Amino acid sequence: MKIAFLAESPADQAALTILTEAILGCKAEAISHTGLRSRGWPMVRTVLPSVLKDLHYQSEAEGFVMIVDSNGALPHLPEHELPNPHEPKCRLCQLRQIADNTLSQIHPRAGLAPLKTAIGLAVPEIEAWLLCGVDPHVTEAAWTNGLKEGREPYSKEDLKQQLYGTSHPSLALETQKMTEAATRLSQNLSALEKLFPNGFGAMLKSLRSW
Amino acid sequence: MIESIEFRNFKALREATLPLSRFTLIVGPNGSGKSTGLKGITAFQNPGVYHHKNLRTAGVPETVPVGVTARWTDADGAQVGSLLWSASEGTRVAYYVPNASSQAVKVAEVLQGARIFALDAVAIAQPVQLQPNMEMAQSGALLAGVLDRLRDQHPERFEAVNKELGRWVPEFDRILFETPGSGQRSMALRTREGHYPIKAVELSQGTLIALALLTIANSAKPPSIVCLEEPDRGLHPRLLRDVKDALYRLAYPEGSGEKREPVQVIATTHNPYFLDLFREHPEEIVIAEKVGLESKFSRLSDRKDLNEILADAPLSEVWYSGVLGGVPAGT
């Protein structure tokens, strides 16, 4: 299947590709638009419509996958999945709405089905997903409960330190460690879904619906 | 590690303290003291060449002394001493080591080894006369000689530069050397396709600056303190993460698998994309501010409301807005 990824770095894209392939059970074929990059939140909101329109009209992509970090913002919650779900403070809801609005306004493309999308919300960042099975304290629930109590149960620096062994990893080290962790998790997606049921779970459900 | 540099009546820095980390990125308007701060650090190398009348802040009486004090901390972060140089009316600069311990001597040596680089593509591309020991000049001149020595003395590091360059600028895969005259060296880059040599003088500004940055980052014996004026100059925004990695390779060698002592790195920039890359380390960002004839420095992480300010906005846009300071007056 031909899939386009929008990620902040080649390291993020490598991990996202491995997880996506594990969920879909097939290889993600390269498209002509490789290496789409965003500069993170909130710029990704601005660039997303342009990326989707370009993929729709100018590429052979069948699917589109992206993730964004929640950082200190409201994580995606089960109630956001109810009918008429848009929660303006949730980054995943915002991106979904932008994607839905964009794709609903474009003309059908000849010979290809509409672009399928899957968006994930890493709480608070992708390193947390990749520590699944390594640090039992790093979970979506722990982070969400911490925010409700006005505290962060662990810092993003803690997560980087755990995954990379340094708070200042090079891109090469990030790519290596993320690839290793994503490969490990690709054998145990259910654990990732259990510990990150909303941010990862939302992406998983979208991908399984393709 | 040099923890701060205090300036008194030193050019535009009448009363300012530059806080430093292992890596420090200084942003601020033109003429806000960024380069003066870097010069203050390297002034420790040859204090005798500086004269009071050339250093004194404009408008300050002649009788007022000029001083620069470096404070440093040990590996645990405890402050262990300071080093001062000062000049009074009619005198040249002299060192004063308040506690003349072995630590102070060591730090004096560290300051002696500081280098400023303001890389210039034209200078980088020039052929060089080979010497037994080649050191890159402030402009990046002599690079061909430095790389020639790196190839001969540290071939694994030379190969690392080749490999990194091939990733940064994929159309090239190897540094080549030519001998334009007796005892001279010049550089060329080999194209990946066809293996054609492209002379350094024909290369783009960004390619030459990338080559100089990679050479500094992969040096076997880098300067004890590396000061870089706008290392992002001439480079595509997508290469800025690589520039950051090259500088972090010096400052945080463990993050790149390097086994050597960290080098303190101080860089300046006007590039908002480059600034955004350091958002998660506000303690590494220093804002330079000009108020009238005076300049001041402040560490971004000292802002108590930083998390609220940056909650839903990119650092670069907040900086541009003026909320953080460090923007030109009247613009």
Q: For A134-155, write each residue's pLDDT tens digit.
A: 999 999 999 999 999 999 999 9
Q: Which domains does chain B have, with CATH numbers?
A: 1-113+263-331 (3.40.50), 117-222 (no CATH)
Q: At A194, is the secondary structure helix, strand, or coil?
A: helix
Contact list, A40 vs chain B (CB under 8 Å)? 276, 314
Q: What is the pLDDT of residue B100?
A: 56
DSSP single-letter state for residue B37: H
Per-residue pLDDT, B96: 57
* pLDDT surpasses 90 at A33: no
Please tell me the distance from the alpha carbon of residue A85 to that of residue A202, in angstroms, as a whole number: 13
* Average model confidence (pLDDT) across chain A: 93
**Model pLDDT, residue A67:** 96
Could you give the angle at the alpha carbon of B6 between the alpha carbons of B12 and B87, nearest 5°?
A: 70
Number of domains in chain A: 1
Of B255, B280, B312, the CB nearest to A170: B255
Nearest to B297 by CA among B16, B2, B20, B7: B16
Which of A17, A39, A37 has its CA nearest to residue A28? A17
How confident is residue A88, by pLDDT bands cut at 50, 70 and 90? confident
Distance from CA of residue B88 to its chain's centroid? 29
Question: What are the tokens at A78?
Answer: 């089960």
Tokens read off for B212: 């100089």
- pLDDT value of position B68: 83
B254 in contact with chain A, both atoms CB, cutoff 8 A? yes
Residue of A nearest to B23 (CA): A168
Percent of chain A with pLDDT over 90: 84
Partnered with residue B227 across adjacent β-strands are B116, B266
Least confident of A109-113, A121-125, A190-194: A109-113
E strand spans, B142-284: 172-178, 184-191, 197-199, 225-229, 264-269
As for the ipTM of the complex, it is 0.89
Nearest chain B residue to A168, by CA: B255
- Phi, psi angles (nearest 5°) of residue B246: -65, -40
Q: Which domain holds residue A57?
A: 3-208
Residue A43 is nearest to which of B23, B252, B314, comparing CB atoms? B314
Which pLDDT value is given to residue B11? 86
Q: CA-to-CA distance for B260 and B257, rounded, in angstroms? A: 9
pLDDT below 50 — which residues of chain B? none
Nearest to A170 among B245, B281, B307 (CB): B245
Minimal Cα distance from A40: which residue of B?
B314
Please indicate whether, in this complex, the C-beta atoms of B251 and A171 are within 8 angstroms of each other: no
Say how many C-beta atoms besides its own lie within 10 A of residue B88's C-beta. Answer: 15
Q: Three-class SS of residue B67?
A: strand
The percent helix, strand, coil of chain A (3-state, each to 5) is 50, 10, 40
Distance CA(B326)–CA(B275), nearest Å, equals 12
The predicted structure's pLDDT at residue A85: 65
Average pLDDT over residues A179-191: 97
pLDDT at residue number B52: 73
pLDDT in tens, B200-256: 999 999 999 999 999 999 999 999 999 999 999 999 999 999 999 999 999 999 988
List residues bridging with B15 in a β-sheet: B8
Tell me the average pLDDT across A16-34: 91
Strands (E), chain B: 2-10, 13-19, 23-27, 66-73, 79-87, 94-96, 114-117, 128-129, 172-178, 184-191, 197-199, 225-229, 264-269, 285-291, 294-299
Phi/psi region, residue B256 (left: phi>0; alpha: psi -120 to 50; beta: rest), is: alpha
Chain B interface includes A171 (CB < 8 A): yes
A124 touches chain B (CB under 8 A): no
- What pLDDT was estimated at residue B77? 66
- Inspect the interface and report whether the beta carbons of A9 and B307 lie closer than 8 Å: no
The bridge status of strand B285-291 relative to strand B23-27 is parallel
The DSSP result for A107-175, as a single string, is PP-TTSPPPEEEEEEESS-HHHHHTTTT-TT--HHHHHHHHHTTS-SS-HHHHHHHHHSSSS--HHHHH
